[in-house]
Structure 1
Amino acid sequence: MLILVIGLVIFFCLHSVRLVAPQWRESSMKEHGEMRWKMRFGLLTLMSTAFIVMGYMQMRVEPIWLWFPPVWTRHLAGLLVLVALFFVGSALVKNSTMKNKMGYPMLIGVKIWAFAHLISNGTVADVMIFGSFLVWSIVSFAVYRRRDRLAGVVYEQSEDSSVPANLIAFVFAMMSWFTIVFYLHQAIIGVSPLV
């Protein structure tokens, strides 16, 4: 459990810098260079993710069950993850409808992904991981939107057509979903979502 907790703490500390100290983040990026900042950030993110996966694997050996989710929650989770991936794709593509209207589709994608995994898994490790991601994404979204309102940022559809951007986000979601469901989930986590 300790490895999982360390991984989660590192991950959320890294990903909350913009949330709690945006000025320090910007000044550090200017001082050290954006590329160096991103490389360090990426390496620490990979390390924390590895800790989370290792800790999760250790806790799966002797799981502590809080509840036993019904089988239908797995099917619902699969559908919700597809929706989450569409939001992630929308965050990565310029001028997507979700980015123009919501501002932070990546955080919405994380919310949906975390919720999907919470309803379909019932161990302490699952609650620690997906519960913490759900809480973090909800808080982050609320803080960023509040900051935007105070700064007078308005979210609205761009005059340019967003159909190509939405199509790219959809293709990204479908390709990612099939890759995860039929290969990556089993390869990394050791559990097939199809079972």
Structure 2
Amino acid sequence: MTVLILGLIIFLGVHSLSIVAEPWRNRMAERLGEGPFKGLYSLVALVGLVLLIWGYGQARLEPVVIYTPPMWMRHLAMVLLIPVFVLLFATYLPGRIQRAVKHPMLVAVKLWALAHLLANGMLADVLLFGGFLAWAVADRISLKRRAPRAKPELPHNPMNDIIAIAGGLVVYALFVVWLHRVLIGVAPVAM
């Protein structure tokens, strides 16, 4: 469990720089240069991600039950996950979805985390998904007081919404049928 917690602290910590220390983050980016700063940021985030994946895998070997969700919660979780990949696509494909949701990546993270909390009741699940849910809520709140940062993005195009919906639903179907079992070791639905 220690490795999972360390991974969460590192991964969510680096992703919280703008939430808790935006002036410092901006000074560091200016001092190092945007490219080197992003490289260092990515390296630290990757270390955190590797640790949290490894730690989560190890924690699942000795599960600690916090709660046992009823079966209908798993079905609700599957429904909540439908828009997640659509929103992830919409994050990078500007269109009506992105404009309506404002921060599609954060909404996707919140839905993903909430759905997994509804379907899983082990301590490792509560730490992992609860941590991500808390981070996404805190980041969304902090965005209201932060100046928007320029980011490269594709031009707005009505086709972007169609691509986001189609691509997101295809990836969702792949995860449900195959990828979740291959990558995570758990089949979300019995085949």
TM, length-normalised to structure 2? 0.86
Question: 1:58/1:73 Cα in 2 relative to 1: closer, same or farther (>3 Å)?
Answer: same
| Residue pairs, 1:45-124, within 5 angstroms | 45-94=45-94, 96-124=95-123
| Residue pairs, 1:164-175, within 5 angstroms | 164-175=159-170
Say whether the 8 Å CA contact 1:53–1:189 is kept in structure 2. no
Question: 1:39/1:161 Cα in 2 relative to 1: closer, same or farther (>3 Å)?
Answer: closer
In 2, Cα distance between equivalents of 1:183 and 1:14 = 31
What percent identity do the matched residue pairs reach? 34
What's the counterpart of residue 27 of structure 2? 27
Say whether the 8 Å CA contact 1:115–1:130 is kept in structure 2. yes
What's the counterpart of residue 190 of structure 1? 185
In 1, Cα distance between equivalents of 2:14 and 2:112 = 20
> Could you list the per-position Cα deviations for residues 133-166 of structure 1 after superposition, in whole angstroms to 9, with x for gaps in the alignment?
1111111101102446xxxx8xxxxxx9753221
> Could you list the per-position Cα deviations for residues 63-103 of structure 1 after superposition, in whole angstroms to 9, with x for gaps in the alignment?
11122112222222222112122222211112x22332342
Q: CA shift at 1:23, angstroms?
A: 2.5
Moved over 4 A (4+): none
In 2, Cα distance between equivalents of 1:117 and 1:86 = 17
In 2, Cα distance between equivalents of 1:142 and 1:131 = 17
Q: CA shift at 1:57, angstroms?
A: 1.3
Kindly provide the amino acid, as one letter, of the partner of residue 121 in structure 1.
N
Say whether the 8 Å CA contact 1:186–1:192 is kept in structure 2. yes
Q: CA shift at 1:48, angstroms?
A: 1.2
TM, length-normalised to structure 1? 0.84
What's the counterpart of residue 39 of structure 2? 39
Instruction: Provide structure 1 residue ranges, at least 5 long, that are not aligned to the other structure.
Output: 154-159
Kindly provide the amino acid, as one letter, of the partner of residue 92 in structure 2.
L
In 1, Cα distance between equivalents of 2:97 and 2:145 = 18
Question: 1:145/1:101 Cα in 2 relative to 1: closer, same or farther (>3 Å)?
Answer: farther
- Secondary structure of 2:139's counterpart equals helix
Question: 1:33/1:171 Cα in 2 relative to 1: closer, same or farther (>3 Å)?
Answer: farther
In 2, Cα distance between equivalents of 1:44 and 1:135 = 20
What's the counterpart of residue 136 of structure 1? 135
